[in-house]
Structure 1
């Protein structure tokens, strides 16, 4: 479609681009999980929408730059725009694995639920306590950390449903979240306990390693994007350095993946069926590269333009940073024992031990990235979490810190 310049709010465009990019990642992998051409086509449609958004953002930023100082201040914003577009393109490449029927081992579909946040389709039973309830009233995401990213109803998909979207008997809800929360929501929706799909026993060792590496690359790339947005939101060089480390680890994983997939090609009957895995690994590595682009302004000492921080705050899922206060509910507690995710819907993505960030030097990081249920917090620790605004308020109470605001 033709795109012409029109005055738009750069903040609103950036927020929409962030939300769309994150939805695209979820839906592209969901298309692979479900083997669904319909979901994949929706991804390609959203990719076209992203193309329009990035053109609108670029034109508005060019109009805003009147002198060298403006250009320097707006350069990081252009980096965020370009990175979101790169994520969009990568998601489109993943979707094309399904649309173009590129070969993919069936066992890859059973490997995806092993991700840190699994993707699971579940039908809504007529007897479900949630049937007829809006997503806002059910409070699923805030209470469990599980997000319904799409709903299939009467043969079509409703993407990124809102708080006023009502669940109906016969719907198929596509869930994303950690296993504990998934088990709770799964049983509330269909009345049956959640069970991970069984892995194919016919998978060779090299192919299993290749698939595991793709899943790990997916987790690390998504974490890198989250940390990158956190780095620009809080102008944190330490977080930006962690993004660089994650991108380097993804690169190393891709190198090992290439060795394993070449070895696996000699062991399977149809090596062409492995092409899809190569597409997934390549696209996932691009997402980690995009994360570095998001945080590049911080890494280069250009700082963060206020419009980026405001856009990150106004997106669907907020990113917050808190300090654990002495005597608070989190002081001395593990993330699991405090049931942070199931009580608040917030996912803690990084923890920094003790000392103030200002005293850290580049490359000298005390960040614990992607902490697990066993990670113990102490007074003075700072952590970054992602989730809903209402969940952010609950988490602030547990930490004994101030609730978040747009500043």
Structure 2
């Protein structure tokens, strides 16, 4: 059932004996997909992408209720309650991320207004993400992802499929693409046109961008892009802190949340200053809306890591869930003389035959280096926090060995 904008389903939800781990995996994957879709909807001013976010927001609400029911049924003693309390915080925080992504999508759905300068800045901040419906005559229809081998051939990856009301958030090599599937594609802009045309039988139309004309507005746009990057980094580090039970990573999440708060205050002031010179000040409403939602994401990331900061024992089910999610998070020790030793990293991407994205580096003499906004060179002895597919993670581990 497709929900109209702003409408909440009244479908009854009853308790079912389901795996909390499976629910957490789906919630984490859904939240991360929603962030990608929401910012891409803003970039492309795409009602279709915004619609997918709203549908996923409804789905997340159901997952949250089921997870809460399962956790309540699992708590039978004070010790259970102590271990499950951080899990409940993660469930709630993940739903908050979903709500924030939904609010970003509503900038498009409700035509709140956003200056063209925002779309000029986002192409560098958001990897190209496109929605397409599989055409019956497509060469991809009826074939598995392994057979098509899109990622190896083009760098474009099918990150999710919607088949009616059912979502496949973790399509693998054995997943078959079928006619009328809604496919979400992510990859380089240069390769997207050919893949999209073959998948849908329609022409691909890239986003059209314009150059900002107001200095204060340009500064505000740059700030919101930085806030977005920091908030997404905070989410990654929050899940990493839980997976590795790492207080230092959790403290970095807190530092990022404080920085995003400070940026939002300055951002709001710059938007108000820009309004004095804007031809249509009302068009800036979307920027304020975007800033508020982005800050909520960083707050939710801090809530995810709260149990680690307070040194509570997090239930093992959370560790299992993070490990089994769509994009795994890995911690890799780099051996001196390995393939990765001496490799440069630009915006999180190593200059090597690897598709893992590096989130942070722990260097013995320097502590944590957050690499999202800086260029670094990997050194032997570094400890890397990276994310990517399970296959990419295995190859990355091999490259780190001497």
Q: TM-score range by the shorter chain?
A: 0.7 to 0.9
| 2:376 match: secondary structure | coil
TM alignment of 1:222-237, pairs within 5 A: 222-237=232-247
The equivalent of 2:390 in structure 1 is 389
| 2:128 match: secondary structure | strand
Tell me if structure 1 keeps the 8 A contact 2:44–2:207.
no
The equivalent of 1:219 in structure 2 is 229
RMSD: 3.4
Displacement of 1:94: 0.8
Aligned residue among 103, 108, 128 for 1:119: 128
Displacement of 1:344: 2.5
| Whole-angstrom distance in 2 between the partners of 1:82 and 1:326 | 42
| 2:12 match: secondary structure | coil
Displacement of 1:131: 5.7
The equivalent of 2:64 in structure 1 is 54
- Per-residue CA deviations over 1:229-250 (Å, capped at 9, x if unaligned) read 0110000111111111111111
Q: 1:202 to 1:21 in 2, by over 3 A?
A: closer
| 1:375 match: secondary structure | strand
Q: 1:341 to 1:89 in 2, by over 3 A?
A: farther
The equivalent of 1:209 in structure 2 is 219
Greater alpha carbon shift after TM alignment, 374-383 vs 229-238? 374-383
Tell me if structure 2 keeps the 8 A contact 1:87–1:287.
yes
TM alignment of 1:18-37, pairs within 5 A: 18-37=28-47
| Whole-angstrom distance in 1 between the partners of 2:83 and 2:383 | 28
Greater alpha carbon shift after TM alignment, 20-29 vs 281-290? 20-29
Tell me if structure 2 keeps the 8 A contact 1:354–1:379.
no
| Whole-angstrom distance in 2 between the partners of 1:66 and 1:158 | 33
Q: Does 1:267 align with 2:268?
A: no
Displacement of 1:160: 4.8
| Whole-angstrom distance in 2 between the partners of 1:138 and 1:113 | 27
The equivalent of 2:93 in structure 1 is 83
Q: Does 1:370 align with 2:379?
A: no
Displacement of 1:4: 1.5
The equivalent of 1:350 in structure 2 is 360
Q: 1:152 to 1:215 in 2, by over 3 A?
A: farther
Q: TM-score scaled by structure 2?
A: 0.83
| 1:118 match: secondary structure | coil
The equivalent of 1:68 in structure 2 is 78
Displacement of 1:139: 4.5
| 2:84 match: secondary structure | helix
| 1:316 match: secondary structure | coil
| Whole-angstrom distance in 2 between the partners of 1:190 and 1:249 | 42
| Whole-angstrom distance in 1 between the partners of 2:57 and 2:131 | 26
- Per-residue CA deviations over 1:365-405 (Å, capped at 9, x if unaligned) read 7111125784212221100110000000100010018xxxx
| Whole-angstrom distance in 2 between the partners of 1:11 and 1:278 | 36
| 2:342 match: secondary structure | coil
Tell me if structure 2 keeps the 8 A contact 1:107–1:200.
yes
| Whole-angstrom distance in 2 between the partners of 1:68 and 1:7 | 22
- Per-residue CA deviations over 1:131-184 (Å, capped at 9, x if unaligned) read 66643345455788754446899xx9998572335499x99975545xxx5545
| Whole-angstrom distance in 2 between the partners of 1:144 and 1:83 | 35
Q: Does 1:285 align with 2:295?
A: yes
| Whole-angstrom distance in 2 between the partners of 1:100 and 1:261 | 20
Displacement of 1:200: 2.4
- Per-residue CA deviations over 1:254-302 (Å, capped at 9, x if unaligned) read 1111011000111111111111111111001000001001111000010
Aligned residue among 3, 23, 40 for 2:13: 3
State the aligned residue count. 380
The equivalent of 1:100 in structure 2 is 110
Tell me if structure 1 keeps the 8 A contact 2:361–2:370.
yes
| Whole-angstrom distance in 1 between the partners of 2:56 and 2:386 | 27
Aligned residue among 325, 331, 335 for 1:325: 335
